[in-house]
Amino acid sequence: MSRRRLYHFPQSPFSRRARLALAHKGLDVELIDARSSEEKLAEARSLVPLKTVPVLVEPDGRALGDSGAIARWLDLAYPDAPRIFPLDAGDGRAVLEVTTLVDAALDVVVNTGNRFFSLSDSPAWPTVREEMRDRIQRALDALAARVTKLDRATFAASGWSAAEIWLVTMVVWLQGLPARAPSFPIARQLLTIGWSVPGPLIELVARHSARPDVRSLDG
């Protein structure tokens, strides 16, 4: 059997959440930067039908794409390791609310500022961009409201979970876009949408910033 591998993009929030999920489970993994060469990118894309990154390859050779699917698979495959998605109904509901809102915000950011940006010369674009910005902001504000109501460090009583993994990686990525914009055209495009990260989300990241796995997010 070969070693466990994760094809990833170092700065991607989806890749970062896969790395945090693996770290939470205590699983060793070889990180392969899929942008390091055309061959590595082609290799990663050949492993899953949607040709997306991240891609986890288990020691038995089976591959799985999509960060959400990877996290859920890790809970199924390694049930004795710390849970990513809690089994308790109350904790599970809270965690699913957070991860759903994060995915809603990220999907709109990526689709509007990247995949559909070639349509930005259309007369309809300002209206579309405003609607998409409002959707992103509603999700971010709803997340901030949930953070504000927290009476403990984590959403789940059992501790660190998918809720923090999803939220931290999203906020770190959104806050990092301005610094990347001068050398990364897609970052400039994403910033034209015009969202604002609420203070409570920034404070949540600060509370968890001392974790070794969070400190290593740029790796």
pLDDT in tens, 53-79: 999 999 999 999 999 999 999 999 999
Instruction: Report the predicted TM-score, pTM, of the whole model to 2 decimal places.
Output: 0.95
Angle at the Cα of 57 from the Cα atoms of 73 and 86, rounded to 5 degrees: 20
**Cα–Cα distance for residue pair 136/105, rounded to 1 Å:** 5
Token pair for 64: 């799985």
Quickly state the pLDDT bin for 176 (edges 50, 70, 90).
Answer: very high
Predicted pLDDT of residue 2: 76
* Fold of the domain spanning 89-215: Glutathione S-transferase Yfyf (Class Pi); Chain A, domain 2 (1.20.1050)
Question: H or E segment at 185?
Answer: helix 185-191
Quickly state the pLDDT bin for 216 (edges 50, 70, 90).
Answer: confident
Token pair for 133: 């910005």
Q: Which residues contact 96 (CB under 8 A, 6 or more apart)?
A: 85
Asked if domains 5-77 and 89-215 share a fold, the reply is no
CATH class, domain 5-77, is alpha beta
Q: Given a cut of 80, is residue 219 above it in pLDDT?
A: no
Neighbours of 53 (CB within 10 A): 26
- What residues does each domain of the chain span? 5-77, 89-215
Q: Given a cut of 60, is residue 1 above it in pLDDT?
A: no
Q: What is the mean pLDDT of the chain?
A: 95
